Structures are given as structure tokens and as C-alpha cells.
Amino acid sequence: MYFCVSKNIPLACFSLLVTIFAGLVNNHTLSADEKTLEVSTPMTPPTWAVLERELLDQQLIACREFYSRYFDSRGFLECVERWGGDDGPDDAIENVNDWPILHALGADEEILTMYKTAWEGHLRQYTLAKTIDVPFARDGMYYKEFPVMFDWVHNGEGLTVFDLQGLGDPDDAKFQQRVKRFAGFYMNEDPSAPNYDPEHKIIRSLFNGSRGPLLRKATALDWTGDPIEVKDRFLPRHGEENYEQMLAHFEEYNDIIGDHPQNMGATSLAFNAYALTGDAKYKEWLLEYVDAWLDRTYENGGVIPTNIGLDGKIGGATDGKWYGGVYGWGFTVTVPQTGEKADRNTHALGITGFANAYMLTGDPKYVEVWRNMIKVINSNAKVIDRQTQYPRMYGDNGWYTFYPTPYQSGALDIYYWSLDEADKALVEGNGWINYLSGNDPEYPTRALQADFSALRTKMEGMRNDPTTPDTRLSDDPMPYNPAIVGNMINLMLGGIHPGHKGAPLHCRVRYFDPMEHRAGLPKDVAALVTKLEKDSTELTLVNLNQTEARTVVVQGGAYGEHQFGKVTTPANGTLDAQNSHFTIRLEPGSGTTMTIQTQRYQNTPKLKMPVLR
């Protein structure tokens, strides 16, 4: 607490002292204006806390070595630059996936500097990179700092780093310009990119971007990229042995005209623009587009269709088949190396749109539509070899490709948003959910220990990587990316990993360092979310520094979308926050477990840091 000291105490300051003293007598409740909770209770550093801080430090060291190995001084990835679905531009920047989250958790600012340099270099590198044969990328694979036209499996992957930059660096001028420009590509603000049809509320092709939609059937060349030497030079991660097999991989990827659920990945651009600017046009477009998909899903019997024709009709570009098109419910193709069939249905990417709409509104209809789809699909189970099995695909002859486990794409998201026991059944066996339910108290320690093991394996792989810049494809370094954040998102933030699809981060709490004026936990501070309820959050914070105090700002959600009420601790009093954030001061070697009243998805998401003091 902060007191005014003077020989002649001003009346206002004297009143504040009286208020604070009264609060201390009456259950240690601080005034709503104070917003700072003082913690002085000693806490022996828990094992999980020591592991957490060390893991942040070790990943910095590993990321530095990884960056030095694979990127040059311009931020260019040292590889053979290609267009394509196997090893294209998106894969190049994916090599620093999760670095923005690592920084936002509290890793050193050097992480921010490295991934921003890589992003700037990436934009320049793939604007300069041109195709010879692929027609739409002959003047550059990127145009206006954005993919010229490709599907949102790849667009989303390639935008993951950019879309999460706002967690730790929302004030960067270039970032702000790009957020608005990129969103504009899907709101017809750029006449050279008419991706969206406002009459039918569709994105007009599976291929879309800064040069607009591709309104013809795609060819294997469009997907594969220009001819390339393969044998004895590269080892493509999809297993092709030569360029002919690379073409054959995409031979059946033709029907791209019309809309597909994965295009809802574009709503993340509008989400960021709205969170950055507060301009209602971005929210209105996002909800208009997502609501159209919600209506189509119910019109289609509760299962999201995978083709909407240019006429706005379900299956309009695939002979009336709601399951048609590339990456559709019926998209099963031949693997060229083996001749076997492979299911490649990406409808599940559509949950990103419903998630973004839910983040903006808190309206449960965006959760219910996916919950209902899970039920509808699983209702088509049948007994095969005396075992109940559940479908994953749908074709001309109905449901096919059955598994002994229920369909559960998006089930973790649904349970995380609802916290309803009825939604919990499909996520049984999840160690983190089991821990939050009050079981397995040693889970955090084991999970973080496993991350150390994974980090060691990645570094060994990188140091033994035999590739050179002229024998390296853009996706070759990806397995060695040292950023391992999944468990830390769960444990530190009470959140779920957004995936590598350009989606925003959903979490219960996030932290800021008011002394360094940056996102992330201050040095020496560790955090563990121990319980999530519909209306409350249980959080433990500990200061591992035994000689210096640390101050932390705790925010509700990644974007301040949650509202806090009373913050209660066992020995350090109660604070009535009534805000999207509050401040806590941890004396040397102190810690506490607090219960925070939480109203979820009550506030407008904002891409800015709270007022730090």
C-alpha cells in the first residue's frame, strides 16, 4: 500500500488513510481506487515455479542458437525459396511460430527482436521471390506484404506469427498499418482484391489473398509450385521422391471455386483490426460473415457444409453436394507414393470464425453451433465388428471412415468456453483438465519437466541437421523450433493453445510488467492457474527473488475481454478490482493463491496494454 507522509497531511490524503485503515480492519478490503494488492506472505519456491522460470530462460538461449543457424542478418530464412503447398512461404515464417506467445509469457525482449526481424525479412524475401510457371506469383509470391492468393490452411499458418504480435507489441506502427490493410483485403476496401461477396456473404474462392480470388479450377502446378530437383538434394516432408510425385500429390485439388469453412480464418484479421482500432466496421463484417456460416450449418442439418457456390447456395459449385470441393467432407485423395487413400477434410478450421465471434460478443450461440455439430456427427455412429464406431467423412454414399472414438474436433474449445459438465465427456483423459478438476497435483511439474526433455531433443536435432541453404526447404527447420508453449499457456494463463492457424489467444489471465513497461511476467515471478470456474479464477503467484519485490499487472483474458470483481487471498486481504485488470505487489520471497471473481467475455477486446503504473 502507498501512504502519503507529510507534516501537514492534506485532507484528501488523510481521508485516503482513514479509508485504507478501515479496509484493513474490515476484512482487509482495499478501496476500488487503489487497485493494488500487497502480498508479503513468505512462500517457499514450488518446484513448478522454478521449472517455469528456468524454461523461459532456456528457451531464449535455444531460440538464439536456432535463429543464428537458420536466419541471416536481414531476417531471411536461409533456404531454397519456393511457392507451394508443401514447402511454400507460409512454412518459412512458421519456423518462429509461438515466439510471440513465448515473449508475451515473459521471455526476454530478445525474443521479440528476433521474431520481428524474421517477420520483416520474410515479407521482403517472399515479395522478391517469384515463380516462373505458376501464373499468379510471377510478380512476387507476396503482394502488398500478403500472400497473393492461397488457401487458408496455408494463409493461416503463414499469418500465425503476425496475428499474435499484438500480444506484446501492439504499438508498432508497421503492425498497425498491416492489421488494417490485411483486414481490408476481405472487406473489399482494396479494389484489386475483391475476395468478399457482400450479397451472398461468401469469400468467393478457396484461393484468396492480396490479388483477390482465383475463380477457376486449380491445377496441380498452382498448388505444387515450379519444377524443382528433388532426388539426392531434398527430402520433402510429405515423402515425395521427385517433382512428379509432388504434382501427383495435388492432382485432385481442383474444385476451389466458392466458399469453404476454412476461409473463416480471415475473420482473425478483422478481429485484430477491431481490437486495435475499435472501429465498428470490422466487428460488423466479422459477425455478418460468421452468422452466415452459422445459418448455413443449421440449414444443412447441423453439419457445416464445405462448399458454398458463387450463387450463395450450399454445394452451388460442386453439383449441389454440400460435402464437395477441395478439403471438403468428401475429399479423399490418392497418395502418389503408395497408392493408398487419404482423407483431407479441413472443415474443423471453421471453428476459428465462431471463436472470434464468441470473443467479441460472449453469445453462446457461437458455442452451441459447434457443440450441436459434434452431437449430430456422433449420432451417425454404427456398429462395425461388434464395436461402436464414429464417422469422420461424408461422400456420395453417406458417412464413411469410422473410428472407435467419437468425433471430437473442437471439443476442448467447447468445454473451455462453457465449463459445462455435459461438455466435459469428450475431453476426458486430458491431463490439464484433470488437474483443474482437483486431481493429480503433480501434473504441472511433470508437464514442465517434459518440456525440458522436448527442448533437449529439438536442440540435438538442430545440431545434427545436415542441410545447407541450397539443400534446405522452407519447412525443414520447423521440427527444431525451440518455442514450446502449450503447457505454459495451460498452466500460466489458464488458456488453450490457439494452434498454428492465425487465431487469437483464448486464456483466463495474462500478465504485464509495469516496471519494464512490457507484456509478460516480470523477471523472477512465476504463475499457476489452479482452478477455472464459470465465475471465478484461482491463481497462484510467487516471487522467487529473495531480495527484491516484484509488481505484476494481472489482466482478464488475452485482450482484456474478462472483467474482474473481488480478488481474495487467505492472508493478504481482498481487493475489489471492478476492472479488466489489477496490480499486485509481491514482496521478496512472497507468494499467494488468490480467488478472482471473473465475468467472462464481458469487455470489448483490445490490442493494447493496460495502464501500467
In this model, does residue 14 exceed pLDDT 70?
A: no
SS3 letters across 389-451: EEEEEEECCEEEEEECCCCCCCHHHHHHHHCCHHHHHHHCCCHHHHHHCCCCCCHHHHHHHHH
CB atoms within 10 A of CB 375: 12
Report the range of poorest mean pLDDT among 169-173, 240-244, 299-303. Answer: 240-244
Calpha distance 505→496 (Å, rounded): 7
What domain range is 517 assigned to?
A: 37-43+506-599
Q: Do the domain assignments include residue 560?
A: yes
CA dihedral sign of residues 202, 208, 209, 211:
negative
Owner of C-alpha cell 518440456: 451
- Cell readout for 217 is 479450377
CB atoms within 10 A of CB 438: 9
Taking only the tens place, the pLDDT of each residue in 582-595 is 999 999 999 999 99
| Residue 205 bridge partners (DSSP) | 257
SS3 letters across 14-46: HHHHHHHHHHHHCCCEECCCCCEEEECCECCCC
Amino acid (one-letter) located at 478: M
Strands 146-147 and 196-197 turn out to be: unpaired
Confidence (pLDDT) at 572:
87
- What CA–CA distances, in Å, run from 400 to 40, 118, 332, 373, 476? 61, 43, 11, 16, 34
Calpha distance 576→594 (Å, rounded): 13
In this model, does residue 7 exceed pLDDT 60?
A: no
Owner of C-alpha cell 487458408: 152
Confidence (pLDDT) at 254:
98
- Cell readout for 510 is 495474462
Strands 581-586 and 36-39 turn out to be: parallel
3-state secondary structure of 593: strand
Calpha distance 350→354 (Å, rounded): 7
3-state secondary structure of 594: strand
Our CA angle for 450, 453, 457, nearest 5°, is 140
Confidence (pLDDT) at 17:
39
Calpha distance 436→483 (Å, rounded): 24
In this model, does residue 25 exceed pLDDT 90?
A: no
- Cell readout for 27 is 476484512
Q: Do the domain assignments include residue 517?
A: yes
CB atoms within 10 A of CB 320: 12
- Angle between helix 267-277 and 351-361 (nearest 10): 20
| Residue 511 bridge partners (DSSP) | 554
Calpha distance 102→169 (Å, rounded): 13
When pLDDT is averaged across residues 108-132 and rounded to a whole number, the result is: 98
Confidence category of residue 612, pLDDT binned at 50, 70, 90: low
- Strand stretches in 16-134, DSSP E: 29-30, 36-39
Confidence category of residue 236, pLDDT binned at 50, 70, 90: confident
Report the range of poorest mean pLDDT among 16-20, 58-62, 318-322. Answer: 16-20
Confidence (pLDDT) at 79:
98
Confidence (pLDDT) at 22:
37
User: If we measure between CA atoms, which residue out of 451, 416, 417 comes closest to residue 433?
Assistant: 416
Confidence (pLDDT) at 5:
33
Confidence category of residue 238, pLDDT binned at 50, 70, 90: confident
Residue 582 contacts residue 525 (beta carbons within 8 Å)? no
Confidence (pLDDT) at 296:
98
b vs e for 492-504, b when ≥16 Cβ sit within 10 Å of the residue's Cβ?
Answer: bbbbbbbbbbbbb
Taking only the tens place, the pLDDT of each residue in 525-561 is 999 999 999 999 999 999 999 999 999 999 999 999 9
Confidence category of residue 239, pLDDT binned at 50, 70, 90: confident
Q: Give the CATH number for residue 514.
A: 2.60.40.1180
Q: What strand order describes the sheet that includes 563-568?
A: 29-30, 574-579, 563-568, 591-599, 536-543, 525-532
Taking only the tens place, the pLDDT of each residue in 435-490 is 999 999 999 999 999 999 999 999 999 999 999 999 999 999 999 999 999 999 99
Report the range of poorest mean pLDDT among 13-17, 297-301, 344-348, 494-498. Answer: 13-17
- What CA–CA distances, in Å, run from 461 to 126, 257, 452, 464, 476? 27, 41, 14, 5, 11
Our CA angle for 193, 81, 225, nearest 5°, is 60
In this model, does residue 27 exceed pLDDT 50?
A: no
**Which strand (E) or helix (H) includes residue 566?**
strand 563-568
Q: Do the domain assignments include residue 534?
A: yes
Calpha distance 43→369 (Å, rounded): 45
When pLDDT is averaged across residues 555-577 and rounded to a whole number, the result is: 96
Which residues are CB-neighbours of 505 under 8 A, at least 6 positions away? 101, 164, 167, 489, 493, 495, 498, 558
In this model, does residue 179 exceed pLDDT 80?
A: yes
**Which strand (E) or helix (H) includes residue 102?**
helix 99-105
Calpha distance 212→194 (Å, rounded): 5
Confidence (pLDDT) at 4:
38
Confidence category of residue 237, pLDDT binned at 50, 70, 90: confident
- Give the mean pLDDT of the chain: 94
The span from the first CA to the last CA of the chain, in angstroms, equals: 13
Instruction: Calculate Rg over the CA atoms of the chain.
Output: 25
Calpha distance 288→469 (Å, rounded): 45
Q: Do the domain assignments include residue 29?
A: no
User: If we measure between CA atoms, which residue out of 344, 342, 405 comes closest to residue 378?
Assistant: 405
Taking only the tens place, the pLDDT of each residue in 488-524 is 999 999 999 999 999 999 999 999 999 999 999 999 9
Q: Do the domain assignments include residue 440?
A: no
Alpha helices in 95-149 (DSSP H): 99-105, 109-128
Q: Do the domain assignments include residue 571?
A: yes
Calpha distance 273→588 (Å, rounded): 40
For the chain, the domain total comes to 1
Phi, psi of 574 (to 5 degrees): -125, 140
Q: Do the domain assignments include residue 266?
A: no
Taking only the tens place, the pLDDT of each residue in 350-393 is 999 999 999 999 999 999 999 999 999 999 999 999 999 999 99
Amino acid (one-letter) located at 451: D
Calpha distance 297→353 (Å, rounded): 13
- Cell readout for 537 is 479464477
Calpha distance 178→175 (Å, rounded): 5
3-state secondary structure of 496: strand
Confidence (pLDDT) at 388:
98
Q: Do the domain assignments include residue 95?
A: no
Phi, psi of 609 (to 5 degrees): -80, 150
